[in-house]
Every structure is written in C-alpha cells, then in structure tokens.
Chain A
Amino acid sequence: MKHGKWHKRQVDQSLPAWKVEFLRYKELKPIVSAVSGRPPSPAEFVALLDAEIEKINAFFIEQEEFFIIRHKELQVAIRDALARKAAVPESAHEAEIAAIRREIVNFHGEMVLLLNYSSVNYIGLAKILKKYDKRTGAVLRLAVIETVLAQPFFTAEAVTLMVRECEAMMEAVFPTAPGEGQAAARRDREALAAAEQRIFRNTVAALLAMEDVRSGSSTRGRHSLPPLTLPDSEWLRSF
C-alpha cells in the first residue's frame, strides 16, 4: 500500500478545493488487488478508469480556463501599470508593481501545482494499471497508458506555456535589487502570508513527495522512473 500512502499524502497536502478532484487511487486499488472475489473484467476496469480520467480532465480543463483568463488579465495589468508609470506617484506605482509581482508568483505557483496534480494522477493510473495487469495477466497497461499520455491533463501544453510566460513576466517586473525596506516588508508579509504560504508549502511538499515516490521502486523495471535526489532536499525538509 506504499503508493496508496504516497498518493494520500499528496492529496492531503494539496490545495483544499482540489482534494476531491484527484484520482481515487484508494478506492480503485482494492478493486483491482482484492485477493478474494474476481477482479473486474477489462471492459469494466477500463470503464472505471475512463470515468476517473474524464473527471480529472474536466477539473484540469476548468482550472486551465481560469488560468487562461487570469493570465490575460495579468498581462493587461502589467501593460497598464507600466504605461501609467510616468503619470502616477512613485509609491503608487511601486505598490501596483508589488501587487503584480505577488500575483505573478502565486499564479505561477498554482499552475505548477496543477501540473503536479496531473503528475500525481498519472502516476496513480500507471500504478493501478500495472497492478491490474499483474493480477489478471491482461495486457491493458501499455495501451491504456498510451491514451492517458494523450489526455489534456497530461499533455497540458497551454498551462506549461503559461508557466514559462510567467517566468518571463517576472523578469519584466522584478527589480534588480531588493526594493522594500524592512518595515514595509513586515507589514506586507502579514497581508499575503496565508495564500502564499499555502502555495509555498504545497510546492515544497510536492518536490519532496516527488523525491519520495522516486526513491527507488521495489519493482524497478523498464517502466519505472529513475530515482530522484534533489540536491537540497535537506533544506526543503526543514520547512
């Protein structure tokens, strides 16, 4: 049940609104692996997975839609703020830019967390399929996983692109040197701490979890991912 634990941890650590949207690994696994009773027929099983995939895709695509809207708004906001720069007092401009920076970073973070959501689901599906094949001797895994690889939640082209564009945006609006003074920083810290902390924590958790799930499989084979050791995982774990 090792992966089940990992999966559950990922879900628990995710953004609260997302928890119900994950693959129901915990429910699917016993269906497959139950020693007593019969495992589902290939058709039944594929139907089950299909339903899950549909659900995952639906959630992903809806989030993607929100992100697309937000992305455009951000671009407009940056453009407007920069255009207004000469016409407004510096402090006002600075405040605007600071808010934009915050928004960019949080936006970036949420998108990456969505990509992580996709990854967690993919891994869960791959594991479930592997278990099914093992249990029933069928050869579902390869064919089904191929279709999964084509799913919107996995390919995620638009989100990936937006993530990269965010990174580019940051270059545009971040100062070259640290700007705010300590007092202002402390004030601002309170205000935005909550949302950012959650995103930050989730990101740290996701990185560490990736390391865990890739720490070496007991059934290593040609379908396994290589082990992953993050260079600063110690530091990450200190959070």
Chain B
Amino acid sequence: MERMTTNPFYTSGIPVTVPSPLPSATLDENFPRLPDAQSVLMERELRRTPLPPHQSSVARMRGQLHPSTGSVGPLCSPQAVRFSSVSNPEQYTSANPYTSHQTPSNGSSSAMVYGSHHEGLEPTYTDLPMDVGPAWCPDHIMLEYSDGVPAGNNLTAISPIASTDELAKQTEWWTELMNDDWKDIADTTGGAKAQPQAGPPVQPSTSVHKSASLQIVPSQSVEPSAVAAPSPSASSNTSKTRMRWTPELHERFVDAVNILGGSEKATPKGVLKLMKADNLTIYHVKSHLQKYRTARYRPELSEGSSERLDASKEELPSIDLKGSFDLTEALRLQLELQKRLHEQLEVQRNLQLRIEEQGKCLQIMIEQQCKPGADKVLDASTSAEGSKLSSDPKESSTVKDVPNNSQNGTAAQAEPGDNE
C-alpha cells in the first residue's frame, strides 16, 4: 500500500517513536474524538467484518512499529519485535508509547492504536520491506511448539541464573501452558467454534476477535518527559520535564564538579557549562547537585527511603539474626537473602516479558486465521506455519500456501540465544 510510505512515521528501519513532533496539540485534537460515535461505529463494523477495515488502518498502524530492546524479544526475532509497541528505550516516558502512535492525520487512525499492533502483521502488506517481513514471531514460536514438544531448553535460557530447579520448573510450567494454547488454536482454526457475534466462522475467542475492533484513543500524559542523556533523540526539554540520570551522565557531572573544586564550590551554571550535555538544563543540574551534596556530607539524609535518622528511634522487634553470628556473617546472610529476592524478581520479569510477547504473537496468529484466504481448510500444522510467511511476505495470502515440510526446516533455525 502506497499510503504506508507516505506515512511520516513509518520507515523500514527507523524507530517510530518520534519525539519532538508530538506536541500535545496533536493529541488534544485527536483525543476528543474518542468518545464520539465514529469510533463506536467503527468498532461495531469491525466486529462484523474484521478484515477490510484492518487493512485500511494497517498502513497507518505500521507506523507504530518500532524496534524494541533485545530484552523484549525473547521468542520473536529482533525484527519481529518491531511489531511490539515497546517504545524505544531512550524515551523513558509513559507518554511516548501512546503519543508515538499518533499519526498526525485522521481520527480513526488515532483510535486504532492498541490492538492494531497485531494487525500490522497482516500479510496484505505486500510492499513491506523485506526486513520487516521475515520477522514473523510465529515463525519462532512454531519452531518451539510445532510438535507440541515443550521447548523447555529454550525457555530456560531466558535468565542467566535459570539453572536452578525452581526456575526450570517455572519455565516448564509456562511452556506447558503455551503448548495448551497452541493446541487450542489448532483446534479452533480447524474446527467450527464460532462466537455468537462473529461473522466469519472461525473465531477462536471473543477477546481475540475483539482485538481487531479495538478502538482506543491513547490518553496523553500531562507533559512530555525529557529523555535522560545528551542523546539527540531526546524530546524538547523544559525545566518541568523529568530528567533521567544515567551512570555515565553522572560521571560527567562528577568530573565537572571536581574540575570546579568540589561539590561545595561548584555552581550549577559552571557544571552545566562544563558538562556540555544536550537537553540538560540548569534546573536539572541544580537539583542533582543538591542530591549530590546531601549524599556526600549527610548520607543519612541522602535518600527518600533512607531511615537512618529515625530508625534508631523506633522500637523494632528485633530479628535476632545477629544473635549467633558476628557482624560479617549477618551481613552475608542479609546479602544472600537480597540476592535471592533479586534473582526471583529477574526471573519473574523475564517471564512477564515473554508472556506478553507470546500473547501478542498468539493474537497475530489467530488473526491470521481469520483472513479470507484462510477459508481453505487448514490443518493444525499448516495453520501454525510461520515459515512461509517469513520467507515470502509478498504473498497476499500466505497461510494457505504454507508447505508442511518447512516446519521441520525452520525448526533447525531455532537457537537458544534468540530467546534472550
């Protein structure tokens, strides 16, 4: 679709999170459209005929696709994660994920934000650049689940500490769940589970169907938040925007302060000048300098969470962990416990990421089944085929053409490293 290439937000390789040209004005003008009849109407329409309206919005929605960080692409290839709404990590705002989806055009596009990420993957985009095409996450999912065999070994690679039994158990549990899902999909696409309100006969689930009709206008955060470092992709900076400091930036700050004679002598203006960092305002430097001074000379006040001052005044029922240990051992114990918690949090976070990635890919797959070209009977294995899609995105309806044996061929491509 030619339309796509005129979309200023969509190019093949460039992240779409465009910072500066996203003034709140655009958002305001789109925002009030949400509650109106148009979106409701579109929603109902889509429910009945899910496909054609998709295609019109696909072009616009393609604009939302932008690469995510490696950490969000466990199962999908890095290119596939382009379809994720995960915004560029430098954006650091909650505003941007929503605002970046605002193409400065019409109301319906502004409405079709969330669910449409998935719709962006419909195979009608014959003119998609090749680098987007092969990025079918279902491709990789199939590599793991095509035979219903849990790819436990892949999943356990998600975390560097996944060698413990507990973690392996958790990932296995999840793998089985995923397998059940795939079986469900296979069943329903081949079968005749129709939802009452669905038009097409193949409707695996209400929620999936409804994803096609999602009409949400993203709300906009109050103000754009600044990107941290002196990176050129930062949005425009006002003194009110939130600054995200990085260790590197802080290094430069400390160097500047030291040049100026120390934290007491250094002035915000002087530091700002020395640092030569884009998007850093004197306001940011001033606030940071204040925190820095506090940390150096009054460490007990240095953090919001620090309780050294009032802690000693409290009567705490003492945990007698230090009874039989000496101090060092007690600290060791505390550290061990903290490491455990951290480890669990890491594993949990990775799982959460993967769950959502999987969910998204599943939705895409399911929507695939609803394509007009898919009313030829698809048996379980072919319906699950992502390989043909990945290798030949230019086919207008690829699903039905997927050969059986490519399933095995692509399985060989799965690498545990891809899942990280």
A residues near B (Cβ < 8 Å) are 15-18, 41-44, 46-51, 53-54, 57-58, 61-73, 98, 101-102, 105, 108-110, 112-116, 119, 122, 126, 133, 137-140, 142-147, 149-152, 154-155, 157-158, 160-163, 167, 170, 174-175, 178-182, 184-185, 188-189, 193-201, 203-204, 206-207, 210, 214, 220-231, 239
Contact = CB atoms under 8 A, between A and B. Distances in A.
Contacts of A227: 170, 173
B217 A42 contact: yes
Given A50-B98, A225-B352, A203 B166 contact: no
A17 to B, nearest CB: 5
B219 to A, nearest CB: 3
B305 A18 contact: yes
Contacts of A140: 114, 214, 216
Contacts of B291: 65-66, 69
B221 A54 contact: yes
Contact of B341 (A144, A147, A203): A203
Given A69-B292, A174-B332, A197-B319, A42 B341 contact: no
Contacts of A200: 319, 321, 334, 337
Interface string B200-215: 0000001100110111
B242 A58 contact: yes
A146 B216 contact: no
Nearest to A194: B311
Interface string B297-333: 0010011111110011010101101100111111110
Contacts of B230: none
Contacts of A182: 326
B344 interface: yes
Contacts of B349: 119, 154
Q: Is the interface of B mostly helix, strand, loop or mixed?
A: helix
Contacts of A47: 219-220
A117 B312 CA distance: 24
A46 B218 contact: yes
A207 B216 CA distance: 37
Given A50-B221, A105-B338, 13 more contacts: A15-B307, A17-B305, A43-B34, A43-B217, A72-B247, A147-B86, A158-B247, A182-B326, A184-B326, A197-B319, A204-B337, A224-B177, A228-B344
B34 A41 contact: yes
A58 B226 CA distance: 12
A198 B316 contact: yes
Interface of B: 31, 34-35, 68-69, 71-72, 84-87, 89, 91-95, 97-98, 113-115, 117, 166, 169-171, 173-174, 177-178, 181, 206-207, 210-211, 213-222, 225, 242-247, 250-251, 254, 288, 291-292, 295-296, 299, 302-308, 311-312, 314, 316, 318-319, 321-322, 325-332, 334-335, 337-342, 344-346, 348-349, 351-353, 355-356, 358-360, 362-363
Q: Is the interface of A mostly helix, strand, loop or mixed?
A: helix
A174 to B, nearest CB: 7
A180 B328 contact: yes
A150 B359 contact: no
26 contacts: A17-B305, A46-B216, A46-B219, A50-B94, A54-B94, A65-B244, A66-B304, A72-B251, A105-B331, A139-B207, A140-B114, A142-B356, A143-B117, A146-B97, A147-B85, A150-B91, A150-B97, A157-B89, A158-B247, A189-B327, A193-B322, A196-B334, A198-B311, A207-B341, A225-B348, A227-B173
Contact of B345 (A50, A101, A112, A204): A112
A200 B34 CA distance: 48
Nearest to B313: A194
A222 B311 contact: no
A122 B350 CA distance: 13
A10 to B, nearest CB: 13
Given A46-B98, A122-B352, A200-B321, A110 B219 contact: no
Contacts of A102: 331
Contacts of B353: 149
Given A42-B34, A112-B345, A163-B342, A146 B117 contact: yes
A22 to B, nearest CB: 13
A160 B346 contact: yes
A225 B211 CA distance: 23
B415 to A, nearest CB: 23
Contacts of A116: 341, 345
B256 to A, nearest CB: 13
Contact of A142 (B296, B308, B363): B363
A143 B304 CA distance: 33
Contacts of B35: 41, 43
Contact of B304 (A17, A109, A175): A17
Contacts of A113: 305
Contacts of A206: 341
A168 to B, nearest CB: 12
B229 to A, nearest CB: 11
A65 B181 CA distance: 42
B295 A210 contact: no
A235 B12 CA distance: 54
Contacts of B330: 185, 189, 196
A65 B346 CA distance: 21
